[in-house]
Amino acid sequence: MSQQLINHSKDLKKLRDEGFAIQVKGGYLVIHHIPYVNTQKEVKRGILVSQLNLVNNSTTAKPNTHVMFFIGDQPCDKDGNIITAIQHGVGEQKLLDGFTVNRSFSNKPANGYADFYEKVTTYARIITAPAKSLDASLTEKTFDVIADDDAETVFSYVDTNSSRANVAHINSKFLEQRIAIIGMGGTGAYILDLVAKAPVKDIHTYDGDEFLQHNAFRSPGAASLEHLNKKMKKVSYYAEMYLKLHKGIKEHAYYITDTNLTELDAMSYVFICVDNDVARRMIIQHLLKVKIPFIDVGLGVNIANEQLVGTIRVTTGTVHKNDHLSNRISFEEDENNEYSTNVQIADLNCLNAVMAVMKWKKLSGFYQDLREEHHSSYSINVAQLQNEDTTA
């Protein structure tokens, strides 16, 4: 993927062809072997690092920031005086696992940089000039080939969003996770939409239902008439949609029953999005037995005075906290809950999914969790969010 990006992007290819030792690492462009002078008037070599901005998997866009990272000492003039014109920030900053920069530079043209060739050569010229004045044989254009050490990614294209936000190293906490989503109705579909944007190893979706016309109005994206006429299984429809982004979608076009419960034993986390309370109880009891953390979601919606009222619920169970489950999750069917028959609202499904995914990210250490709540509920008509069953 990295070599394809270099080969098909005119600016990156020009850098490589001129001899710059460039490498694409995650969502960053890395330029090795940059000669510079340090405060002791010694000639050293450092590494420039720039955030990448891409149109697609094989073409760069105009740089979105003029800031450049650096790995090395403070660049100076030939007399050891700091080049203050580009000073920006000092201090270690982890960009990726095993990849840390220790300073940043700022040199902002009036109209920004036209491409990465202009950005890299501008910074290289400023930093290397003092070193070259001391030794004319020095050059940043070494024609060295840098091995492409990018690990195989679960995404179909580079995640430049994480690199732009400098959270790629925090995102690594999801690596090797195996996620199951049981029930691909409205809430389950939105959970898939959000989880598919995290670098988890794979995502297993379970549902035996077909994707029909009414599903299109409470699901992410916009289903075509062509897809609706195919009467695909829900898991197959969503796999086709999200494999475009995440290569680890694993579809299971059947329900979880007592005959296949053990398929969940290999999961890291399980989202339970079913409207059958008997199945819910069976799944929860098994997950508690095998000590797999889970997040159960639920919606209760009713009509009152020609308006909808109700509550969104997210309940978490782990090996460390599960004594609250019997008080928070109903295991009996509620015949008066009109949501289970004909009230399905996309925004409520979406909000329920957002709350569930945020809790999963807290459990994974992505978000800070000072409350460690294991039950959250949002009441629609009073706009009240309650977080209960805390351990902090």
Task: Identify whether 170 is part of a domain.
Answer: no
Residues 131 and 223 in one domain: no
Query: What residues does 34 pair with on adjacent strands?
Result: 46
Mean pLDDT of 373-390: 95
Q: Which of 150-159, 176-185, 256-265, 341-350 has the weakest average pLDDT? A: 150-159
Structure tokens at 321: 């906290």
Q: Is pLDDT above 80 for 115?
A: yes
Q: Which is more confident, 152 or 90?
A: 90
- Positive or negative, the CA dihedral 92, 94, 98, 104 is negative
In this model, does residue 213 exceed pLDDT 70? yes
Mark whether 224 and 366 lie in a shared domain: yes
Same domain, 49 and 127: yes
Judge if 17 and 118 occupy the same domain: yes
Res 51 pLDDT > 80: yes
- Chain centre to alpha carbon of residue 237: 22
- Mean pLDDT across the stretch 108-113? 94
Residue 286 falls within a domain, yes or no? Answer: yes
Residue 78 backbone class (left: φ over 0; alpha: ψ -120 to 50; beta: rest):
alpha
d(CA 239, CA 228): 15
Q: How many residues does the chain have?
A: 392
- Is 148 within a domain? yes
Query: Is the backbone of residue 84 left (phi > 0), alpha (psi -120 to 50) or beta?
Result: alpha
| Domains of the chain: total | 2
Question: Could you tell me if residue 164 is inside a domain?
Answer: no
Q: Are residues 202 and 320 in the same domain?
A: yes
Domain assignment of residue 159, yes or no: no
Out of 43-47, 178-182, 219-223, least confident range = 219-223
> Which of 168-177, 320-329, 351-360 is predicted most confidently?
351-360
Q: What CATH number corresponds to the domain at position 374? A: 3.40.50.720
Average pLDDT over residues 197-207: 96
Task: Calculate mean pLDDT across residues 359-378.
Answer: 96
pLDDT score, position 341 = 46
pLDDT of residue 335: 53
Q: Do 371 and 286 lie in a common domain?
A: yes
Check pLDDT > 60 for residue 125.
yes
Residue 229 sits in the same domain as residue 346: yes
**Per-residue pLDDT, 146:** 75
Residue 338 pLDDT greater than 90, yes or no: no
Q: Does some domain include residue 233?
A: yes
Establish if 80 belongs to a structural domain: yes
Segments in 135-230 forming alpha helices (H):
160-165, 168-171, 186-195, 225-230
What is the average per-residue pLDDT within 219-245?
93
φ, ψ (nearest 5 deg) of residue 390: -90, 160
Distance CA 2, CA 335 (A): 56
Last residue within a domain, chosen from 91, 119, 153: 153
Do residues 99 and 245 share a domain? Answer: no
Q: Does pLDDT of 16 surpass 60?
A: yes
Whether the predicted pLDDT of 3 surpasses 90:
no
pLDDT of residue 1: 53
Give the pLDDT score at 339: 40
CA 354 to chain centre: 14
- Give the Å distances, CA to CA, from 29 to 116, 125, 140, 173: 9, 17, 15, 22
Whether residue 168 is contained in a domain is answered as: no
Per-residue confidence (pLDDT) for residue 155, from 0 to 100: 87
pLDDT at position 158: 72
130 has pLDDT over 90: yes
Please state the φ and ψ torsions of residue 182, each to the nearest 5 degrees: -100, 110
Give the confidence band of 67 by pLDDT, cuts at 50, 70, 90. very high
Look up the domain containing 85 and give its range: 2-153
| pLDDT tens digits along 132-152 | 999 999 999 999 877 665 556
Together in a domain, 273 and 375: yes
Residues 117, 193 within the same domain: no
Whether residue 94 is found in the same domain as residue 211: no
Q: pLDDT value at position 340?
A: 46
Least confident of 62-71, 219-228, 266-275: 219-228
CA angle, corner 141, sides to 139 and 144, nearest 5? 120
Mean pLDDT over the full length of the chain: 91
Residues 148 and 44 in one domain: yes
